[in-house]
Chain A
Amino acid sequence: MNIQIIAATILLAPVIGGLIAGIDRIITARMQHRVGPPLLQPFYDVLKLLGKENIAVTNDQSLYAVLYLVFNVITLVMFVLQMDLLLILFMLLLAVASLVLGAMSANSPFSKIGAQRELIAILAYEPILISSVVGMYFVTGSFSISRILQIDRMLFIDLPLLFIAFTYVLTIKLRKSPFDFSTSHHGHQELVKGLTIEYSGPSLAMIEIAHWYETVLLLLFAGLFFANNLYVAVAAIAICYFAEILVDNIAARLTWQIMLKSTWIPGLLIAVVNMVWVYIKYHV
């Protein structure tokens, strides 16, 4: 049974993630009054990348791209197997760390700046991600997803502020504008694609596929807040992701200072307020 679940996760997640990326690109295009690419364009892109020659600046750079992919897969599998949420967050950290180390190993100032900025992003979102998990613990009495799913109550009702904080850092985690500064696109010039600048061909394809897994994981995480009702959860995930696309298109890139301040002061503050009230409600 577990083997089937694991196999299904590994095979289905990139399909779903790729489709989400395709829908993302179509909606983005429509918002910009363009027709946009076909739905399957992300898959065509990745297939094309896989067929290309792998050119690199250092010999172990591709290693980190593969590590990034493998650890994202493991994290998603752990999530689907309903393991401990804190442990899942730490495994997710391992995935991001691989990406950062890959960028730092390349001898390029652009990718190194991208790596530092990604680390700042971790500094910004990690406390809120952990706080969300702790908030869920205060409500359900457990860090394990299997137990959280047994609760016959919508977590969102108890944790609305944490959900807001979570969606806020989701923008950072998905590297979308206004917080996309670690991977800004070539057209924006100042960082020239940051983290992934020195990746090309199959290595870049690995990173793209890993990002699909990551997207699925993060959206499932958002769905946890509505877990007791599948329809509500799917609707919430859809609204949530649409909001991300909208923000991505209407916001200009901000600086890392603004990101750090806004996540640590208002973001963490509302998270704490929410944690305090659920703590008092269920534990005092």
Chain B
Amino acid sequence: MVSYLLLAMILLPMLLAAVVLAVTDRRFRNVCVLMVSGILMVSALLIIKTGAAFVEIHGTLAEVLDYVIFAADVAISLIALYFGFKFRSIVLAVLSIAQLIPLVLFHIQINFAGVEKAFHIDHLSMIMLLLVNIIGPLIAVYALHYMQEHEHHQHLTASRQHYFFATILLFLGAMNGLVMANNINWIHFFWEVTTLCSFLLIGHDQTEAALANAKRALIINFFGGVAFILGIMFIYSRVHTIAVHEILTYSDVSVLLIPMALLVLAGFTKSAQIPFQSWLLGAMVAPTPVSALLHSSTMVKAGIYLIFRFAPVFLGTWLADMSALIGAFTFAAAALLAISQTNAKRILAYSTISNLGLMITLICILDIYAIYAAALLIVLHGVSKALLFLCVGTIEQAIGSRDLEDMDGIRQRLPLTAFLATFGAISMLLPPFGVLITKWIGIEVTASLPPVMFLIILGSACTVFFWAKFIGKLLSHNPEAEKIETLFLTYQGPLAIIAVLALITSIFMIEFSNMFIAPFISSAYLGSSDQTIPNVLISDFAGFYPPAFFAVTAIALLLVFILYNWLKPKRYVQPFLSGENSGHNQFYSLSDGKFNAGFRNYYFSSVLNEHKLTYLMNSIASALLIVLFGVILR
């Protein structure tokens, strides 16, 4: 049963990717995408219902798979080498060779051996599967309509949508493989597939900017890939195994510290931690569903997954403390940079980078609540960010701009989308929603590492600033705005579903934790197969029980509506503009001429110069990374 589900989740999307690529008919493609989406959702739920398990592959099939995956991994390096020549990028060419040679040598060294227990589905995999196979397909469905509009605006002679959807399907299959594989070589292969997919998707529009940013993403992620393969070789030379579950049971941490540092470095590149953040910011040029996919359920979460997977090995060491510090630094620095942005997508991008930093910090703290918060944040952030990106994409197509300053009165122009976007932003910032709770836990658990805690405190303050501006803009009123929203089931439908999911995950945080994270903690951290250890299960977060708080908030909102109905203004006037008004936003100035009053949010562009600050932040983060490696390499 489980092996069929594995086929459905990994191989089927990849096969259908090939079909979609070959058959360019639009209707056929739509049916394929809808079908795969349904299958992925159902299989993910079924596989979770089956419970934690190893899947063994024996005999000829195992051997063939090992050769095929090795060949495909080599092919990816060769593709990168090809693009290195095509773009005349020496760095890319060098990196792809640096990846190719160790890859081949290592496979010769281990004589193309495989792992019998090829897949391991534990509760961390399940959390990732939920995210990848529910949010991912919803984004794909949304993209069906979005890409149609997108190409309409582009005035292409021939549609390129089959490339787009083929890559998306391949991407989802690879993510499923990544989070379930137990052979570290296979993880590396799926890792490289996601790199390749994100490269193709970022460059999809074929504009100069798209190609430049795609190249950058490929270079940075290939750098991570090189660190990954070197890490694998180190691990093998120390403990002589490529099976992840065996590496995790290895008790002597000091032996594995260098390879773990390399894997963490690979995770940093994929998760766009400063100084590797530029590729994720550049990825904004891609069509919005790509951003939604990269930021929420795939790609960046692959880096987090890798670090989370191996965290039990190195928790409590210098490596963990330094990683926590770098994560916290990214959290604060990205939140600060977000304040200076006017481009809504870039604000969201910086917010993602910032939250990924917080996830890494939480993963690297030795505290049971930190683990809970880290896993929760992966899900909560994934859901909310998918919603926000898709909403911004919808707004962008409707008004032709992604600049926050152009979104005055958006709630009158696109009521449903603006409402959902506001909901998404509130779920990222305010209580009783989960993301804030994880920040709160972040401060409480880092009391043992004061510099980390201090950075989280500073970052939280900056977070409030940019989110409040964002929400305020979405809710602002413009008397001249008119409704332009048109509704499609496959367009706003996924948005509404994701919003409901965001609400549900926040309300049932505790139940989710006990169902998925508690078993993960007992198996991965405590080495116990008993999944109901009472001291791991939680009933609340230090007095915070979400349903109670949601109930209080709901009662408060009810009270507010009653009071509001009593207060409801009977008469509307025009705002005070220091003189006699002559229409909306217009008044007679001193010279008796009509004068338009306008207002922009504060962005502090003179103080928070993005270019200079990025340089500074990159330098500091690089220094921290060097210190991390300097201490470990002894």
Measuring CB to CB, which residues of chain A are less than 8 angstroms from any residue of chain B? Answer: 53-63, 65-67, 69-71, 74, 83-84, 86-87, 90-91, 93-94, 97, 100-101, 104-113, 115-116, 119-120, 122-123, 126-127, 130-131, 134, 137-138, 143-144, 192, 197-198, 202-203, 206, 272, 275-276, 279, 283
Contact = CB atoms under 8 A, between A and B. Distances in A.
Contacts of B479: 107
Given A54-B570, A57-B572, A84 B543 contact: yes
Interface string B438-475: 00100110011010011001101110110011011101
B153 interface: no
Given A130-B457, A206-B567, A70 B560 contact: yes
B569 A134 contact: no
Contact of A126 (B447, B461, B478, B584): B461
A5 to B, nearest CB: 15
Interface residues of B, number: 57
Contact of B576 (A59, A91, A110, A116): A110
B71 interface: no
Nearest to B458: A127
Q: Which 9 A-B pairs have the closest CB atoms?
A: A104-B472, A108-B575, A56-B569, A126-B461, A109-B599, A58-B477, A116-B602, A62-B567, A112-B599
A58 B542 CA distance: 40
A126 B439 CA distance: 14
Contacts, number: 169
Nearest to B430: A94
A74 B477 contact: no
Contacts of B468: 97, 100-101, 119, 122
A67 to B, nearest CB: 6
B438 to A, nearest CB: 12
Given A55-B572, A56-B569, A126 B460 contact: yes
B459 to A, nearest CB: 10
B578 interface: yes
A62 B568 contact: yes
Nearest to A192: B576
A115 B472 contact: yes
A61 B458 CA distance: 31
B431 interface: yes
B575 A62 contact: no
A61 B569 contact: yes
A104 B601 CA distance: 10
Given A87-B431, A126-B464, A144 B542 contact: yes
B460 A130 contact: yes
B443 A134 contact: yes
Contact of B430 (A84, A97, A203, A275): A97
Contacts of A86: 440, 443-444
Contacts of B542: 84, 143-144
A196 to B, nearest CB: 12
Contacts of A115: 472
B436 interface: yes
B431 A105 contact: no
A154 B43 CA distance: 59
A94 B431 contact: yes
29 contacts: A54-B571, A55-B569, A55-B570, A61-B569, A62-B564, A62-B567, A63-B560, A65-B567, A66-B560, A74-B552, A84-B544, A87-B543, A90-B436, A90-B440, A101-B471, A104-B476, A107-B575, A109-B598, A110-B575, A110-B576, A122-B465, A122-B468, A123-B461, A123-B462, A126-B461, A143-B542, A144-B542, A197-B576, A198-B575
A54 B465 contact: no
B473 A104 contact: yes
A107 B477 contact: yes
A79 B477 CA distance: 35
A100 B556 contact: no
A53 B476 contact: no
B460 to A, nearest CB: 7
Nearest to B574: A57
A69 B552 CA distance: 15
Contacts of B559: 70
A101 B472 contact: yes
Nearest to A78: B552
A62 B563 CA distance: 9
A138 B447 contact: yes
A131 B544 CA distance: 21
Given A70-B560, A86-B440, A198-B576, A275 B571 contact: no
A62 to B, nearest CB: 5
B430 A93 contact: yes
Interface in B35-88: none
Given A90-B431, A94-B431, A134-B453, A56 B447 contact: no
A124 to B, nearest CB: 8
Nearest to B440: A86
B431 A91 contact: yes
A66 to B, nearest CB: 5
Contact of B578 (A74, A104, A123, A192): A192
A162 to B, nearest CB: 13
Contacts of A69: 563
B119 to A, nearest CB: 41
B597 interface: yes
B577 interface: yes
A275 B443 CA distance: 14
A277 to B, nearest CB: 11
Contacts of B585: 107
A100 B570 CA distance: 23
A66 B573 contact: no
